Amino acid sequence: DGGITQSPKYLFRKEGQNVTLSCEQNLNHDAMYWYRQDPGQGLRLIYYSQIVNDFQKGDIAEGYSVSREKKESFPLTVTSAQKNPTAFYLCASSITDRETQYFGPGTRLLVL
């Protein structure tokens, strides 16, 4: 069953805590992306990776970090430096960075 998965579906963060959102794909896609979606706003790019062991900052990278040690995996860490982390986080992948992106089901992050 091919696709892109994200976990958990809901995540709660305490003040000052780092949390990591998981994103896995078995589509053999080279490119992977993280977006943030806020109510009434368009998707905003946090980080993207065109190939293993390489990634670039998007428009709103401050307070976030990523790694791309494996082709299938692109985890996103929301650090304590991100002062307004409550949002819906979407991971996507594509064959290359010029092709249509396939999105995961999303993770909703809430701050306690």
Partner 1 sequence: KNQVEQSPQSLIILEGKNCTLQCNYTVSPFSNLRWYKQDTGRGPVSLTIMTFSENTKSNGRYTATLDADTKQSSLHITASQLSDSASYICVVSMKTGGGADGLTFGKGTHLIIQP
With beta carbons less than 8 A apart as the criterion, state whether 59 and 44 touch.
yes
In this structure, what DSSP letter does residue 70 have? B
Nearest-angstrom CA–CA distance, 42 and 100? 17
Binding string, residues 8-47; x marks residues near partner 1 by CB under 8 A: -----------------------x-x------xxxxxx--
Q: How much helix, strand and coil, in percent to the nearest 5, is found in the chain?
A: 0, 50, 50
The rounded radius of gyration (Å) of the Cα atoms in the chain is 13
* Shortest CB 107 distance to partner 1, Å: 10
With beta carbons less than 8 A apart as the criterion, state whether 44 and 36 touch.
yes
User: Which of 48, 64, 71, 82 contacts partner 1 by CB under 8 A?
Assistant: 48
Binding string, residues 57-96; x marks residues near partner 1 by CB under 8 A: -xx----------------------------x-x-x----
- Give me the residues that bind partner 1 (CB under 8 A), please: 4, 31, 33, 40-45, 48, 50, 56, 58-59, 88, 90, 92, 97-98, 100-106, 108
